[in-house]
Every structure is written in C-alpha cells, then in structure tokens.
C-alpha cells in the first residue's frame, strides 16, 4: 500500500476515532479539560502509526495541530478527541454525543459548510456508508452534485435525508505525483 493511501486512511481513521464532524454554525464552545479524556487519543494514534508504518509521532503531530488543547497546569498540549474544526473556528466538546449534536442538522447546512476541493466526506446511515476523497471535487464541481453522488454511492436516493445520517468531513495531504482521474483503457 502506498504511503499516500496509508496516510489518507490513517488521517480518516483518526478523524473517525476522534469524532471530528462538520459544524452547522460558526462559533466557539469550551469544554472542561481533563487530561484523562485527552489521553484517549494516544492509543488509537499510536496504533495507526504502527499499523500503517508511519514515522513515529507523525499522526500525533497532526492531531495536535488539528485538535490540540493546552493544559496550563501540566504545561503540555493534548489532542482532544471530540473536536470540530472548520476554517479558523474550533469547538471542543466533553463527549462524542455533544459533538454529534452540534453537527449539521439538514442538507442545507451540509451544503453550506462543505469546502469544494478541500473536504472529503464520509456519509453513514445505518449500514450504508460511502466516502469521497477531496480529489473527487475535480469531477463533481458543486456541493449539491458531490452530496447527491455520494448518496448514490451509499445506495440512497438523491433526495434521501435522515436524522440518523452522519457526515464526517476530513482533508488529505498528497505526497508525490498529482491526482489523475482513473480511465479504463
């Protein structure tokens, strides 16, 4: 498996394990800091680094950059497991349930918060799941088309919406050659 694919899966898995989701509205949210809660991120990060043979502490560094919180008493930063980041806004929550409750509430919210060319998206509804990498924006130019095709990939109708449906937004980093669309010859 190439390093790019390993990194994409590692970051996506870290995002899923950390419960990172797209926020519905900009704003700030503080949660009570607990070193024990912050320590929840360390074992899954170490597991992904080992499993995919990433350089030690690479995903830890990414996690700190994406969801790091400073603990003044311990004079240390921790990756926070229930963090939502969008552009320059960051929200920290006390539980995954709170983070999920803060996420998009309808398709209009989802379409408004997607960043074409930047965001990858994982859709889940019950046993149905699908994902598009950020590179898919090269073929599907608008959020409406991107989400519609993602629903189709998951086996859902174009106009389907459920309160149980969740979306996990993520970004990727590309190392090596530029993305080239697949073409069968």
Per-residue pLDDT tens over the stretch 31-79: 566 767 777 788 888 898 899 888 888 888 888 888 888 888 888 888 8
Which whole number is the average pLDDT over 157-181? 78
Give the pLDDT of residue 143. Answer: 94
Give the pLDDT of residue 15. Answer: 43
- CA dist 14 → 62, 109, 114, 140, 148 (Å): 10, 24, 20, 26, 26
Which whole number is the average pLDDT over 26-30? 40
What Rg do the C-alpha atoms of the chain give, in angstroms?
17
Pairing of strands 120-125, 89-92: unpaired
Go through the chain and tell me how many residues it has.
185
- Sequence spans of domains, the chain: 1-103, 104-175
Q: What sections of 68-169 are H helices per DSSP?
A: 96-102, 107-113, 143-153
Per-residue pLDDT tens over the stretch 83-123: 877 656 677 887 777 776 666 778 888 888 888 988 889 99
CATH superfamily of this structure's domain 104-175: Hypothetical protein ph0010; domain 2 (3.30.1490.150)
Query: Which of the given ranges, 106-120, 126-140, 169-183, has the highest pLDDT on average?
Result: 126-140
Beta bridge partner(s), residue 23: 103
Bigger pLDDT: 99 or 159?
A: 159
* Residue 139 φ/ψ region, left for φ over 0, alpha for ψ in the -120 to 50 degree band, beta for the rest: alpha
Contacts 24+ apart (CB under 8 A), 106-109: 106/161, 107/147, 107/161, 109/24, 109/25
């Amino acid at each position: 498996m190439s390093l790019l694919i390993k990194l994409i899966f590692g970051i996506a898995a870290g995002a899923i394990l950390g419960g990172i989701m797209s926020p519905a509205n900009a704003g700030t949210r503080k949660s009570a800091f607990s070193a024990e809660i912050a320590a929840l991120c360390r074992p899954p990060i170490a597991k992904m680094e080992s499993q995919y043979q990433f350089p030690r502490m690479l995903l830890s560094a990414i996690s700190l950059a994406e969801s790091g919180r400073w603990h003044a008493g311990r004079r240390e930063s921790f990756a926070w497991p229930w963090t939502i980041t969008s552009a320059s806004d960051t929200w920290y929550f006390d539980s995954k349930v709170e983070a999920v409750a803060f996420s998009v509430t309808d398709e209009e919210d989802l379409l408004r918060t997607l960043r074409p060319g930047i965001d990858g998206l994982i859709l889940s509804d019950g046993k149905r799941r699908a994902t598009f990498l950020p590179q898919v924006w090269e073929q599907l130019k608008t959020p409406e088309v991107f989400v519609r095709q993602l629903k189709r990939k998951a086996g859902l109708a174009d106009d389907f919406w459920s309160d149980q449906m969740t979306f996990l937004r993520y970004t990727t980093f590309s190392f090596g050659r530029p993305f080239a669309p697949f073409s069968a010859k």
